[in-house]
Amino acid sequence: MSKVIVVTSGKGGVGKTTSSAAISAGLASRGHRTVVIDFDVGLRNLDMIMGCERRVVFDFINVIQGDAKLNQALIRDRRLDNLYVLPTSQTRDKDALTQEGVEKVLNELREEFDYIICDSPAGIERGAQLAMYYADEAVVVTNPEVSSVRDSDRMLGLLSSKTARAERGEEDQIKSHLLLTRFDPKRSGDGEMMSVEDVLEILAIPLLGVIPESPAVLRASNVGVPVILNEKSRAATAYEEAVARLDGEDIPMKIEGEKVPGLMSRLFGRSA
Amino acid sequence: MFQDRAPAPEAQPAPAAEPEPAPIPQRVAPENKIVTMPVRSGQTVIADKGDLTVVGPVSSGAELFAAGNIHVYGRMRGRAFAGIDGDENARIFCQSLDAELLAIAGLYRTSDSLGADVRHKMVQIYLEDERLIVAPFG
C-alpha cells in the first residue's frame, strides 16, 4: 500500500525542501520505491537540492496538462536506483495546478511507488492546499521559534479540515508528525530558543525527530546532495532516525542538551 | 389556628373568568457544542445557540464564540467571546489562562491587561457592574 506524505510548514525557510530531499533519500536507501514531487510551482528548488537540475526536460505541470507522460518527467536519482524526482515548472505559477490533475498524477504514482513525498510550497494558498489535499500522512517542519510554531499550528488546522481525508469523515484522519529543524541545544538551554517541550506542548502531535542546526545541511544543499547521503554529520544521523520512525521503526529519541521530558515520550508513544 | 385540611374549594378564586390559557412556550434545549480536538490557529468554533466546551488546547490565533458559556479544558491561548447575543450572565472558564482576548456580551479585555496573578491559572471570567472580572479558583 503506497503512502502519500506531504512535507509542509506554512512558514518559508524552515527546511521543507531540505527535509523532503533527506526523507525521500532516506526512504529510498531503506529499500522503498520513492518519488519526491516539487509542488512549489514557479520557485523550482527541489531539483537543485537533489542535484538533478541539469536533467529536467519535462515537469509536473507538463504532465498535469497532458503535454508529457509521467515517465518522461520522472528523473531517476543517480545515487539511488529506487529514488525518483518529479520537478516542477519554473515559468508557470500555482494556478497551473488543478485538483483533478494532481489526483490523476498521484493515482498513477501510487501504482508504481511505496512512498510519494510532496514538497509543499510555503504559505496556505493553492499550491500548499493541493500538496496536502490527497495526503495520507503529514510531516510538519517547524523551527523552535514562535512564528514558525504558530504557522505550523495553522497548517495542522488545515490538515484536519481542508483535505480529502478530513472531508471523507471521522475515521482515517491524516497522521501528522512534527519534525523540529534547525534546533540549537545550547541556545534552547539558554532560553534564547523554544525548547522541544514548549513546541510539543503547543502543537500536541507526535515528534518524528529533532534535526540540529548544522553547517553540513548548507554544504549538502550547495552540492546538490540530500543531507542524508552527503558527509556523516549529526544532522544526517538525526534525519536517518526520523526516517526510520516514519517507516514504523521504534527508535528512542535522544536530544542533545535536553533530558527527554515526560510529555515528549507520552506524545511519541501515542503515535504507535 | 391551624387548619388540618386543605382550604375549601370555594376559597379559591374562580378560574372561569380567564380565557383559554396561553400556550406554554416550547422549551428548547440549548444546542451546546463539545469539541474534543485541539482548536488550531486560524480555526473558528461557533456555538450560536448554547455553551461551547473545548476539551484540548486552544492555540493563539484561534477563536471561540458562544451564545452561552465557554469552557476550555486545556491551555487557552486564543480568543474567546461568550454571550455573543448579549447575555451578560455568560461566563468563560479556563483550566489554564493564557488568552489573547476575552469578551463577554461585547465587553472585552486583552492579554495585556491580564495580571501575572491569573496567568496560567484556573480561572473564571464574568461580568460585574460592566467590568470583566478574571477570578482564579481556590
A269: pLDDT confidence band, cut at 50, 70 and 90? very low
Quick one: closest CA in A to B77, which residue? A202
Of the given ranges (A77-81, A133-137, B8-12), which has the lowest mean pLDDT?
Answer: B8-12
Q: Which of the four pLDDT bands, split at 50, 70 and 90, describes residue B45?
A: very high
The predicted pLDDT at position A265 comes to 52
Reported confidence tier of residue B13, pLDDT bands at 50, 70, 90 = low
Average pLDDT over residues B6-23: 57
Chain A residues within 8 A of B61 when measuring between CB atoms? 150, 153-154
Dihedral sign for Cα atoms in the order A106, A79, A219, A191: positive
State pLDDT tens for residues A16-43.
Answer: 999 999 999 999 999 999 999 999 999 9
Residue in B37, B40, B56 nearest the CB of A153: B40
Residues of B whose CB is below 8 A from A156: 38, 40
Is residue A261 assigned to a domain? Answer: no
Predicted pLDDT at A259: 52
d(CA B123, CA B138): 9
Please report the pLDDT score of residue A271 as a whole number: 44
Distance CA A134, CA A47 (A): 22
Interchain contact, A154 vs B57, CB within 8 Å: no
Nearest CA in chain A to B59: A202
Residue A18 pLDDT: 96
CA angle A15, A20, A21 (to 5 degrees): 100
Cβ pairs A/B, distance under 8 A? 34
Tell me how many domains chain A contains.
Answer: 1
A204 φ/ψ sector (left φ>0, alpha ψ -120 to 50, else beta)? left
Residue the block writes with cell 471561540: B64
pLDDT over threshold 90, residue A270: no
Indicate if the pLDDT at residue B25 is higher than 50.
Answer: yes
Residue B129 C-alpha, separation from nearest chain A C-alpha, in angstroms: 35
pLDDT of residue B16: 54
B75 contacts A153? CB cut-off 8 A: no
**What pLDDT digit, counting tens, does each position of A73-88 carry?**
999 999 999 999 999 9
Q: Looking at residues A98-108, what average pLDDT do you find?
A: 96
Mean pLDDT calculated for residue range B5-27: 60
The string of pLDDT tens digits covering residues A194-240 is 999 999 999 999 999 999 999 999 999 999 999 999 888 999 999 99
Taking CA atoms, what residue in A is nearest to B41? Answer: A154
* Inter-chain touch A201–B43, beta carbons under 8 Å: no
Give the separation between CA A127 and CA A33, rounded to whole angstroms.
25
* For residues B2-8, average pLDDT: 48
Compute chain A's Rg from CA coordinates.
17
Residues of A with CB under 8 A from a CB of B: 150-151, 153-154, 156-158, 160-161, 201-202, 204
Residue B36: pLDDT above 80? yes
Strands A34-38 and A83-86, by their bridges, are parallel
Neighbours of B11 (CB within 10 A): 7
**ipTM metric:** 0.74
Nearest CA in chain A to B38: A204
User: Which residues of chain B does A198 touch, with a Cβ-Cβ cutoff of 8 Å?
Assistant: none
- Tell me the chain B residues in contact with residue A157 when contact means C-beta distances shorter than 8 Å: 39-43, 62
Q: Confidence band (pLDDT; 50, 70, 90) for B12? A: low
| Inter-helix orientation angle A196-203/A146-159, to 10° | 30
Q: Which pLDDT score, from 0 to 100, does residue A202 have?
A: 92
Q: What is the CATH number of domain B33-111+118-136?
A: 2.160.20.70
Q: In a 3-state reduction of DSSP, which class is residue A26?
A: helix
**Domain residues for A239?**
3-253
> Does A8 show up as a binding residue in the annotation?
no
Q: Contacts of residue A160 in chain B, CB cutoff 8 Å?
A: 37, 40
Confidence at residue A272, expressed as pLDDT on a 0 to 100 scale: 38
Better-predicted residue by pLDDT, A202 or B10: A202
Cell numbers at A260, concatenated = 527527554
> Are B97 and B110 a contacting pair, CB within 8 Å?
no
pLDDT value of residue B1: 43
Domain segments of chain B as ranges:
33-111+118-136
**pLDDT grade, residue A268 (50/70/90)?**
low
| DSSP state for residue B136 in the 8-state scheme | E
**Residue of A204, A213, A208 whose CA lies nearest to A257:** A213
What CA–CA distance (Å, rounded) separates A208 from A182? 14
- Higher pLDDT: A138 or B28? It is A138
Confidence band for B53, pLDDT divided at 50, 70 and 90 = very high
| Best residue in A163, A202, A205 for a mutation probing chain B (most B CBs within 10 Å) | A202
**Between B56, B61, B75, which is nearest A154 by CB?**
B61
Residue with cell 537540492: A49
Q: Which three cell numbers stand for residue A245?
A: 520512525
Q: By a Cβ cutoff of 8 Å, what residues of chain B touch chain A?
A: 37-43, 56-57, 59-62, 75, 77
User: In this structure, which long-range contacts are made by residues A106-114, counting pairs with CB atoms below 8 Å and at least 24 apart in sequence?
Assistant: A106/A4, A106/A134, A108/A70, A109/A2, A109/A35, A109/A37, A109/A70, A110/A2, A110/A4, A111/A2, A112/A33, A112/A35, A113/A2, A113/A33, A113/A34, A113/A35, A113/A84, A114/A2, A114/A3, A114/A27, A114/A32, A114/A33, A114/A34
Confidence grade of residue A169 (pLDDT, cut at 50, 70, 90): confident
Least confident of A79-93, B18-32, B52-66, B118-132: B18-32
The predicted structure's pLDDT at residue A232:
87
Q: Report whether pLDDT(B8) > 70.
A: no
Residue A260 placed within a domain = no
Q: Which residue, chain included where needed, has cell 454571550?
A: B83
The mean pLDDT value for A175-195 works out to 91
Task: Report helix, strand or coil for A229.
Answer: coil
- Among chain B residues, CA nearest to A10: B41
How many angstroms separate the CA atoms of A206 and A85, rounded? 28
**Contact between chains at B41 and A204 (C-beta distance less than 8 A):** no
Average pLDDT, chain A: 91
Query: Would you say A10 is a known binding-site residue?
Result: no
Q: What is the pLDDT of residue B96?
A: 95
Percent of residues, chain A, with pLDDT higher than 90:
83
Q: What is the mean pLDDT of residues A44-62?
A: 93
**Which domain CATH number covers A20?**
3.40.50.300
Which residue did the predictor score with more confidence, A70 or A188?
Answer: A70
